[in-house]
Chains A and B, each alone.
Chain A
Amino acid sequence: MSDLRQDLKAEFEDPEYRYAYAESFLNTKLATQIKILREQRQKTQSELGAVVGTKQSGFSRFEDVNHSVWKTDTLWKIARALDVRLDIAFRTFGSIIDDKEHFTKEAMQCQDFDHDPAFAELSAAGVGQPCPARRNRRRIYSSDGRRHRLRSAAGGTQGVGRASGVSGGGVGSASSSAPAPNLILRANAMQGVFNGI
């Protein structure tokens, strides 16, 4: 590992090299994690493609490390299809080494909301079960996928939707959480949404 650190330190002196290397690793991570999460959910490319709005051949491109043109909109759709949150962060070049060390199938896997370990204990105890009215609100949000403004517990309004997935500790947690730093697709997709209801 220290060899790679030394090699990259020398190679990254060239800005063109380090940006291309980082871009390539981002593409590798995205494609690989999409494949891993699809397989974790035991879904076919056709099944997830239908949810995302593309054919099997189109979805297979998302699982190819050479795919390099990612639209944020598409990533949101894929995150929704996998029931995870999307996390986008700016990072140091040196963090690539740490990311590579943790680049394993196990580290890339994450549960959908219903199996999210962060909430499992609460669910078992019956805490935080939404009342029927709140459940309806959630259903409206889930089927729409667009921005809504919902009344918060404090009586004000709070934006939910795309912005909630990017903000709220996404950058900070990406650099500090083990064992899989800089995961692009993370579990707890809807946490920010429910906090605001």
Chain B
Amino acid sequence: MEEWRVYCYLGGMRRDNVVREWLATESVSVAQIAAFQEKIDTLEMSGPTMVPGFISETPVAKDIYKMKIKGNKGRKQLRPMCCRGPFGPNEYTILAGAVERDGKLVPENVKDTARLNLNELRADPTRRVHERLAPRPKG
């Protein structure tokens, strides 16, 4: 079975996982983080065809795709932005976080941010990390 990898973009001084930061800023619930991680795990083990509907089939901007994690019962509609690769065929990199409210992405400029981060990543391949999203135990 082909293994896939899903990376997270590192902002700042290559220390800040933008996905972790975004989940914390949005106060995303543990349950939603678990659902998000489950989709990533399945994608990594079985490939994108085994998680239909998780990643948009058509790009929302050039080279940028939308991930979809549904929020029920008043939870947030998570819409992180990602790209294929950009360094290998069997990988994705999550570039920026967003939520969807009334059919609109928040923040509005998330596609631009994702595009900017993708360019930064292409110039500096160390600007990404492969790690899980579950909240780290305190202490």
Contact = CB atoms under 8 A, between A and B. Distances in A.
Interface of A: 4, 7, 10-11, 14, 16-21, 23-25, 28, 31-32, 35, 63-69, 100-101, 103-105
B31 interface: yes
Contacts, number: 81
Contacts of A14: 30
12 contacts: A14-B30, A17-B30, A19-B31, A21-B38, A31-B52, A31-B53, A63-B53, A64-B53, A69-B72, A100-B46, A103-B50, A105-B49
- Most A CB contacts (10 A, CB to CB) among B41, B69, B70, B134 go to B41
Main SS of the interface on chain B?
A: helix
A68 B77 CA distance: 13
A28 B51 contact: yes
A66 B42 contact: no
A16 B50 contact: no
B132 A25 contact: no
Contacts of B45: 4, 100-101, 103
Contacts of B52: 31-32, 35, 63-65
Nearest to B36: A24
Interface string B49-60: 111111000000
Nearest to B44: A4
A20 B68 contact: no
Given A16-B31, A103-B46, A21 B37 contact: yes
